[in-house]
Amino acid sequence: MSRTDPDPTPTDDAARAGWLYYVGGMTQDQIASELGVSRQRAQRLVSRAMAEGLIHVRLNHKIGACFDLESDLVARFGLLRCRVAPSIGLAGDGARAIAPAAAAELERYLRLPEPQVIAFGTGRALRAMAEQFTPTEQAPQHRIVSLLGNISPDGAATLFDVISRIAEKLMAPYYPMPVPVISDTAEERAFFMRLRPVQTVFNLARRADVTFVGVGQMGPDAPLAVDGFVSPESLLELQALGATGEIGSWIYNAQGQYIDCPRNALIGGVRVEPGQSKPVIGVAAGPSKVRPLHAALQGRIINSLVTDEATARAILAIK
């Protein structure tokens, strides 16, 4: 008995319309005829395919303005690598805008035949990068490792996990940091960090060949506060100490120096030390990321950057 295909879902129709438009090169009228729907319906299906991330777009042309911004950022901050993507406007999602460029940067390292240890922070921009990342082949020779703990204050796994998604696509081994992002006491953190499996992951992350990190702001919309890692009262205290940004939950000031405060002593994971010779790639874009990125670049916490055009211009405008 032959098995019949299930009825197409709306997502199936959107995926087919997106394929016909972006790969098949069909017009919306042609897609409407092919699918047996109205032109307006075909247009909505194509828009849905893009909005739901069913279609990944890569820009192969080097836009002159972006190239100039890359050169200026490299010269000013002594960067190892810099990728500037076109902006998509104030209403657009900065993380989504730079995801293809960040994914392309990741794929560049994964194509290396030598085994690489690749470390990742967490966050929305890195999660968007992981979704855009489309390996052409498996790469089990590489090892994927987390920089920080994966347990939220309520005991749940942290949102915006990156390493499991990337490792799944590569069929490569991955090493999560099995500790709370933030411990309640210094003694508790010391206990977790002494555990042998944690030490293994910690040491692996410290000697990573390349590191990808998100960059968080410390204003009212701080990701640490939104995601429940910092209380409103603690956020105000940190702001009073000059908190400007955070990488891997480690908070730093406007000069890119980590703040000496009790909270930083409770972070479970590896602190990205300034002035590294191996690539430490910051992935972030948007108005709220300008000051944190500038500080991280100035303090040499990151030595490579993936951002968008508007953010790059704003960073360079800071004197």
- Supply the CATH number for residue 32's domain: 1.10.10
Residue 303 counted as domain residue: yes
Domain with 44 in it: 10-51
Please enumerate, as own/partner, the contacts of 56-63 that have beta carbons within 8 Å and a separation of 24 or more.
56/100, 56/132, 56/134, 57/22, 57/100, 58/100, 58/104, 59/85, 59/86, 59/100
- Same-domain status, 33 and 69: no
- Residue 94 CA, chain-centre distance (Å), reads 11
Q: What are the tens digits of pLDDT across the range 36-94?
A: 899 889 888 988 887 777 776 656 656 788 899 999 999 999 999 999 998 876 666 78
- Supply the CATH number for residue 158's domain: 3.40.50.1360
248: left (phi over 0), alpha (psi -120 to 50) or beta: left
Number of H helices, E strands in the chain: 13, 10
State which of 54-58, 152-156, 297-301 shows the largest mean pLDDT: 297-301
- Same-domain status, 134 and 279: yes
Residue 177 counted as domain residue: yes
| Nearest CA among 44, 41, 50 for reference residue 22 | 50
- Same-domain status, 69 and 41: no
Residue 285 counted as domain residue: yes
Mean pLDDT of the chain: 88
Q: Is the pLDDT of residue 286 over 90?
A: yes
Note the pLDDT of residue 47: 85
- Same-domain status, 45 and 136: no
- Same-domain status, 30 and 137: no
Please enumerate, as own/partner, the contacts of 182-188 that have beta carbons within 8 Å and a separation of 24 or more.
182/149, 182/153, 182/229, 182/249, 182/263, 182/266, 182/267, 182/268, 183/266, 183/268, 184/266, 185/266, 186/262, 186/265, 186/266
- Same-domain status, 164 and 313: yes
- Same-domain status, 309 and 162: yes
Note the pLDDT of residue 186: 93
Residue 59 counted as domain residue: no
- Same-domain status, 214 and 175: yes
- Same-domain status, 253 and 164: yes
Q: Report how many domains make up the chain.
A: 2
Note the pLDDT of residue 227: 86
Residue 57 counted as domain residue: no
